[in-house]
Structure 1
Amino acid sequence: MAQAAEACRSGIPTYVHDVSAESGGVLRKYLDWDPLTGNVTGGLLDSGKSAPLDRYSSFFTSGRGIIYVITSDGALQTFKDNTATGGDLLTPVHDYGGNWNSYARMWSGGDSRIFALHQDGALEVFSVADPSSGKGALKKIKSIPGTEPAVAAIAQADDVWSVGTTVYTLKRGIADKQGDVKAWRYVESASGSQFPDGYTTALTGVSTKTRTGWSPGPGTIYTVGDTPDYTGIARSYTGSGSMSLANAEVGAGLYGDVHADIAACLASPSPDVKPGPGTAPPETEIPPQAVTDESPDPAPQDPTEFSGKFVRGDGQPAAGLPVRVEATDVTGERDDEAQLITLGTTVTASDGTWTVTLPDTLPAAVKKAADDNGGAINAMASVNGTTSSGLIMRGVDMVTAAPATAPATARALVAAAAENGEEPSKLLPMTDDMRQESAQPTAGQTALSWASKDEAVSVETLEDKPLPEYQSDTGPLPEGDPYVVDGVDTRSLVVTPMDGGCDKTSEKVLGREIKYTTVAEGHAHWDAKASVDYDSKLATTVEVAVKTGGNWSIEGSVALGSSMSATTGYTNKGPYFAKQWKVPIEYKKIREKWTCNYGRTTMYRYKIRGGKYKVPSGGAVGKYGKDVRSKDGMTPYYNSPKRHRAWVAEGSYFQLSKNRSTKFSGAVAAFGVKLGGSTQYDREHKQRITAGNKKNIRHDIWGKNDKVSGKPGVFYSF
């Protein structure tokens, strides 16, 4: 059963069967670039290649690019990974048919043997004729009883895999007892034990959170956990005999069963070769060397005006409705009921737009709030009206302005907040349950929300996606239609001013919580280093969530300025590093109250709004956020628009210090609701990359939204 000799390999394909609800079942391909060292200074690289593999099927690998799949109906099929030559990840090779779902698990060591643990407890061993083809005949040659110690350990293990004739069993820790990985040597003999040496312990200290393991070849083991506080983070271990930790975070976002394209011998790659899943395609145009701040300053905007647009649910203008603009930061640290200060009123135009100019003289409380917020004034614009049936419709939008004398940083925040809130605000129906205060969910209930669960994931899943239009703070995304009231769709109903209108809004703070909020991210692939600076003051806009009826929706943003008592960020992290950076911001859940119809109708609504930078007692001044390494590397680079690309000379750096960052859709989950946000780049808020000293291969970067010297939002690395 000896495997044919082959050259020692690096760049081992590694496959993950993602069976998350969002994926529906996908086989994803990663690249283990330096398996010999367990990627001690690198990581598992996302190749960007995938293929559908339904959640009820399972798979294992046998080396040479051959992938075995046991289908949901029990058939055994083989496929070939042809992505390195431009083909499919799962190219069909052979169908063995049969009833293979009678086995609890199957695996191969990368040679001519397949191990299969039968449901009755016996371990059956199959020989494979011509294993490199993926279609050689299978023949059962051994049946080892479940009483054999190795077979009993296999049956009880959380995961099992092999490298050649060595079978590994992973048993996770339980309670205060740590788990381990044991190595069992398989010896094919006519009589006696097939595992005559018992076991050696390859790995100790396996936590209760570790359930999956694999090896790309001899001398390296990877493990990954699957619980919410450790989801998808892979560790690597290397050595002979008892192994030691090589990299505590060699990969992230690995959700599901994992198998590598097993090699008989491992090697490290050439340090002068840029990592990638195949041969890089030729470039017809050489990108320019990166230069900073080529883009012109944005067109001047009048920061002294609040403005917006209100529409009905069908997108048609909500015309002729009274608008009230009220300052929202004036409640400060107060927990008692406080009436908001009106800054101006107007009526929506025929296209639904409106504008209110800041008063020449600000009320004292508003001026103080602006000074505490770096000069920016956050306000709430609201409209109300009724349908012909008497149903109250109300819209709200969070808006920002600044006095003409405010600092330039405040004016930049106003412009950023306006960009964040460029979508018109929709009128929503007021339901009967809003006529009284509602009970607030507990922390345990909000932990079950879609937002809270997404926050626990180790990789960024929302970067390229907008937030859902509606959220629940206690469960999955809501399926109901907030526009349908008593069976009537209110989207297109004509809304007219309400008789008597509505009075000023009063607010009461119901709760506060400090949440670490994504404000920046850095990228450093291959030989580069990444730095993120978030210094001296807040310069971030964060969305505001408003609860109308049973659903939460995003209604504009607040600009968060002011001085900070700390400097945060990270410096020279890498290579193969890309993470978001988060700072602690205090969020408030606020109950709004107002009356309409000459005081005959009292209504309540709730909102979640960001406030000041606030370090919790004993907490970090800033900390790492989600892993975003999947955005870097060869495949994303060659999939990027050519005009977005540039390169950084060896030993030099490039940084973004102008315009604003990309919008982080999943910046924070507060009170069980997800909010987005962005940061203003300036001399104190930067993303930087420093290239290594490789002389013959340039370091490439590219902007997400634009060329790197324009308004890229964030740049990536290859």
Structure 2
Amino acid sequence: MTNHIHGRASRGVVVGALASALATGFIAVPEVVASQAASAVACASNVSTYVLEKKPGAAVRAGSSFTLRKYLDWDPQGGDVNGPLFDTEKTASVASTSSLFTGGHGIIYEVTADGALKTYRDDTASGGKLLTPVRTYDVNWTARHSAWSDGAGLIFVNHDGGKLEIFKQGSPATGDGTLTLLTILPSGNPQVEAFKSADSVWAYGGKVFTLTHGEIRSWAYSEAAGNVTVAATSTLVATGLTGAAQAWSPGPGTVYTASAPADTATGVVRSYTGSPLAPANDSVFEGLYGPVMTDAASCLAPVAEEKPHLGALPAEDPDVPEIGPEREPDPAGAGPMTVSGRFTLPNGQPAGGFPVSVKLSTDTSDSTGPVTEPTVGTVTTAADGTWSLTLPEILPAAAQQAADDNGGALNLSATVAGATSSGVPVVGVDNVVAAPASPATGQPTTLAAQAVAGEQQHSTALTPASAPDAPDPVEPTTSQLTSTYAAQHEADASSDDEAVPPAWQSDRSSLSASFNPNVVNGQNIGGQLVSPFNPDCETVKYKLSSKIAYTTVGEAHAYWDTKATFDYDAKLSSTIDTGYSGGGTNWTLSGSRSVGGSIGHATGYSNKGPYFAKQWKVPIRYTKYKKVHYCNGVQRSKWYTIEAGRYDIPGGGSTGKYGKDVRSKDGTKIYDVPKSRTAVVPKGSYFQLSGGRSIKWTGAATVYGLTIGASTSYDRDHKQRITAGNGRYKHYIWGLHDKPSGNPGIFLSD
């Protein structure tokens, strides 16, 4: 059983993120872990594993709670090479000030903040609760918070006073027996000091195991005549586990490690099997945060050929239809293209009667001097703040060239500018995408049509800009960037892909939810009268810097007996948020840009799985611009933007790379969705999504301290595919937002 206590636990028990790849200089001694002995007891092919979830940065406060989540280690003998660490979706709430450890047989112990010792039984396999109360002991364990059990009745406790106490549980299978103190080892003994200083401690089969600074050792112990003897010397089991902060064993022959905190937190779990130990699976799970506890088995068996399940395997549904052919690409509409939006004043009221300048928004990251982008049209907002501009059927040459260079989609920037009664310049910037007709076909391209499909009319507020003579802000420091919303979102590998980010983000700190962008020098200008600048104005942009950020453009899923493929071939096909800042430090997302055109590369992954689901990222160059607004030759205001540009492989970098592990979306999640969104992929066949538009990954990239979202248009070169095996169960898929043959965004796998 594993010692995984939070609160006053020994250091290193909280799972963080992968600091570096585990070293290949890995040694083991013949002893390793106890060999699998013959037993009359059936060996386990899956083992209950519990995580007390604590995400990076989570604080322990009085009255708060953490979530205890149950997983099943579906292939413990193989280190999850042939099965997943399966999320049963069974949870319970635990006070953040409590400590937990497992006792084997589904028994969980809790030590409360006031020293109460309680036992619970996991009844989820029979449809009951995860924490069914068993007994509250009449003891005071205030000084005992770091504890672990061997599953056979012995409980080891690192007493706060420094000594090691060893208790006997009279009924380990039920958790309600008498607790008897058998042995006390005083502080200063080598084994006692080793257990106290370890990053992780667990025990079973007559040995206590420790993980300390990437090294695993074992300490033999034996019980006789009411006393427990623990060897003062240890045996080396493994070394070279660089970055491992936590370890545990589901049974003989397998060890898991969880990674330590690092700049890129992913909560990576890796496995090692055999004798001597050797790497088995370098990605058992990603995004696993918090102390891990497991019911270690006395022996392990190969995984059965069946879908992971808790309790009885659910019956297959005969009414779910087999999926038909893949959908055809969306037809492109014909006729003139209209772009539109709405502007509001700083106080939220409509900005009626304001001139709107609609300009080309092109990638000028290669420019070295000022650039004035051509005006496509000028309109005036209606009384309700709305505006619209219909593009001519024949575009100006510069606009047509921009569309041709971008796969047929035309990026435009609509700007409203003015000043308050106290002289504070205010600006509203909305980035929109148009789908003009191609001169060759008389219709928009598929990419352009899909880029604008589903786009809602933006409502953009005028907010304070900078005075022309204000100095440009200095770039945030590395330490400042680590405290931003973007850094926290990126560190949480289990974050919701479609979660709405805050309206404003700082590139150098965490912004309060009550942040008000209209406060200038301590004065709220929100209620002041705003007068528009006259229409005879232009905006000149200056490149400040560029950087490359890997950006999520897709994902594919393969659960039991399936393979996943994601293709992002031949050309770009994504729509990416644009950042806007009046002062250059606090940013909001202001519309988006379509990034299309040829990249001359094929990127993605194919035939990965089973039990595989990862996002795919490609390198996109982002540019930070300063934009200065001139009226009648006089500088009136300036602001800053962050804009996505071309596909650009960094020197020595990857053409694409894996993003977040999203296996947690698959499996039994199918039982939570309407049957109308489900389908069966026939055995030995495939289905692919090559039409419509993906979901929007709201945390697709982190660039300049800002979290930026993106989505992808599907076509024959950009698709999500699943290939079904020939196993004995049906292969279900379901769409996240619609049936797979409709507009699902992405589809998931069971």
Query: What TM-score results when the alignment is normalised by the length of structure 1?
Result: 0.91
Partners of 1:330 and 1:365 within 8 A in 2: no
Contact 1:421 1:557 (C-alpha < 8 Å) held by counterparts: no
In structure 1, list runs of 5 or more residues that go unmatched: 173-178
The aligned residue for residue 176 of structure 1 is none
User: Is the 8 Å Cα contact of residues 295 and 709 (structure 1) preserved in structure 2?
Assistant: no
Are 1:61 and 1:262, in contact at CA under 8 Å, matched by a contact in 2? no
Does the 8 A contact of 2:464 with 2:518 survive in 1? no
| Equivalent residue for 1:564, pick from 599, 602, 614 | 599
Q: Is the 8 A contact 2:355 2:534 kept in 1?
A: no
1:579 equivalent in structure 2 = 614
1:103 CA displacement: 2.9
Shift of 1:285: 6.1
Measured after TM superposition, the shift of residue 435 of structure 1 is 5.7
Aligned ranges 1:399-548 → 2 under 5 Å: 399-405=432-438, 411-419=445-453, 421-430=455-464, 436-442=470-476, 444=478, 445-457=480-492, 459-479=493-513, 480-484=515-519, 493=527, 497-498=531-532, 500=534, 503-548=537-582
Aligned to 1:555: 590
- What is the aligned partner in structure 2 of residue 398 from structure 1? 431
Report deviation, 1:653: 0.5
- Superposed CA deviations along residues 171-199 of structure 1, whole A, max 9, x for unmatched, are 12xxxxxx311111211246998234832
Structure-1 residue corresponding to 2:33? none
- Is 1:627 the counterpart of 2:668 in the alignment? no
Q: 2:686 aligns with which of 653, 676, 681?
A: 653
Q: 1:407 to 1:109 in 2, by over 3 A?
A: farther
Residues 391 and 543 of structure 1: CA distance in aligned 2, closer, same or farther (over 3 Å): same
Is 1:590 equivalent to 2:622 in the alignment?
no
Task: Specify the code of the residue in structure 2 equivalent to 1:605.
Answer: W
AA at the equivalent of 2:45: S
1:678 aligns with 2:711: yes
Q: Which residue matches 2:121?
A: 80
Q: Distance in 1 between matches of 2:334 and 2:709?
A: 23
Query: What's the CA shift for 1:431?
Result: 5.6
Asked if residue 148 in structure 1 is aligned to residue 189 in structure 2, the reply is yes
The code of the aligned residue for 2:538 comes to K
Describe the shift of the 1:647–1:90 C-alpha distance in structure 2 as closer, same or farther (beyond 3 A).
Answer: same
Where does residue 338 of structure 1 map in the other structure?
371
Q: CA deviation at 1:529?
A: 0.5
Q: Determine the C-alpha separation between the residues in 1 that align with 2:695 and 2:66.
A: 30
CA-CA distance at 1:38 after TM superposition: 0.9
Corresponding residue for residue 175 of structure 1: none
Helix, strand or coil at the partner of 1:441:
coil
Quick one: distance in 1 between partners of 2:440 and 2:662? 34
* Range with greater deviation from structure 2 (362-371 or 501-510): 362-371
Aligned partner of 1:706 in structure 2 is: 738
CA shift, 1:133, in A, is 1.9
Give the SS at the match of 1:62: strand
CA-CA distance at 1:262 after TM superposition? 2.3
**Unaligned stretches of 5+ in structure 2?**
1-36, 60-64
1:178-327 matches, within 5 Å, as 179-189=214-224, 194-196=229-231, 198-207=233-242, 209-228=243-262, 229=264, 231-240=266-275, 242-271=276-305, 273-282=306-315, 286-294=319-327, 297=330, 300=333, 304-312=337-345, 316-327=349-360
The number of residue pairs the alignment matches comes to 702
What does residue 715 of structure 1 align with? 747
Q: What code does the residue aligned with 1:684 have?
A: D
Work out whether residues 144 and 157 of structure 2, in 8 Å CA contact, stay in contact via their aligned partners in 1: yes
**Aligned equivalents of 1:102, 1:407: Cα separation in 2:** 79
Q: Which moved more, 1:18-27 or 1:156-165?
A: 18-27
Paired amino acid for 2:551: T
Q: Is the 8 A contact 1:292 1:708 kept in 2?
A: no
Greater displacement, 295-304 / 56-65: 295-304
Contact 1:667 1:675 in 2 (8 A): yes
> Quick one: distance in 2 between partners of 1:576 and 1:330?
40
Shift of 1:317: 3.6
Q: Distance in 2 between matches of 1:407 and 1:516?
A: 34
Could you say which residue in structure 1 is the equivalent of 2:30?
none
Matched to 1:30, the amino acid is Y
TM-score if structure 2 supplies the norm length?
0.87
1:363-421 superposed Cα distances (whole Å, 9 cap, x missing partner): 55444433322222211101234556665442211011243116889644444443565
Aligned residue for 1:52?
93
Could you say if the C-alpha distance between residues 134 and 407 of structure 1 is closer, same or farther in structure 2, counting changes exceeding 3 Å?
Answer: farther
Q: Deviations along 1:588-614, whole A, 9 cap, x unmatched?
A: 111111146x66663221111100011
State the AA in 2 paired with 1:683. R
1:352 aligned partner: 385
1:92-107 residue pairs with structure 2 within 5 A?
Answer: 92-96=133-137, 98-103=139-144, 105-107=146-148
Which amino acid in the other structure matches residue 454 of structure 1?
H
Alignment counterpart, residue 136 of structure 1, candidates 177, 182, 192: 177
Deviations 1:3-41 (A, max 9, x none): x97422222121111222469622222220011111123
Q: In the alignment, which of 130, 138, 155 is matched to residue 89 of structure 1?
A: 130
Q: Is the alpha carbon distance of 1:118 and 1:5 closer, same or farther for their aligned partners in structure 2, counting shifts above 3 Å?
A: farther
CA distance in 1, matches of 2:451, 2:350: 22
SS at match of 1:53: strand
> Which string of whole-angstrom CA distances, capped at 9 and with x for unpartnered residues, describes residues 192-218 of structure 1?
9823483222222110x2111111122
TM-fit CA distance, 1:300: 3.0
Q: Do the aligned residues in 2 keep the contact of 1:643 with 1:707 (CA within 8 Å)?
A: yes
What CA distance in whole angstroms lies between the structure 2 residues aligned with 1:424 and 1:432? 23
Give the Cα–Cα distance (whole angstroms) in 1 for the partners of residues 70 and 294 of structure 2: 10
More deviation, 116-125/300-309: 300-309
Q: Is the 8 A contact 2:450 2:693 kept in 1?
A: yes
Q: Which position in structure 1 is the counterpart of 2:725?
A: 692
The aligned residue for residue 167 of structure 2 is: 126
Which among 112, 116, 139 is matched to residue 71 of structure 1? Answer: 112
Larger mean CA deviation between 319-328 and 77-86 belongs to 77-86
Over 3 Å counting, the alpha-carbon distance change for 1:72 and 1:432 in structure 2 is farther
**What secondary structure sits across from 2:502 in the alignment?**
coil
In structure 2, relative to structure 1, the CA distance for the partners of 1:451 and 1:613 (3 Å cut) is: same
Q: Distance in 2 between matches of 1:517 and 1:468?
A: 19
In structure 2, the residue corresponding to 1:37 is in which secondary structure?
Answer: coil
CA RMSD after TM alignment: 2.8
Cα distance, 1:432–1:605 mapped onto 2, change above 3 Å: closer
Give 3-state SS (helix, strand or coil) of 1:146's partner: coil
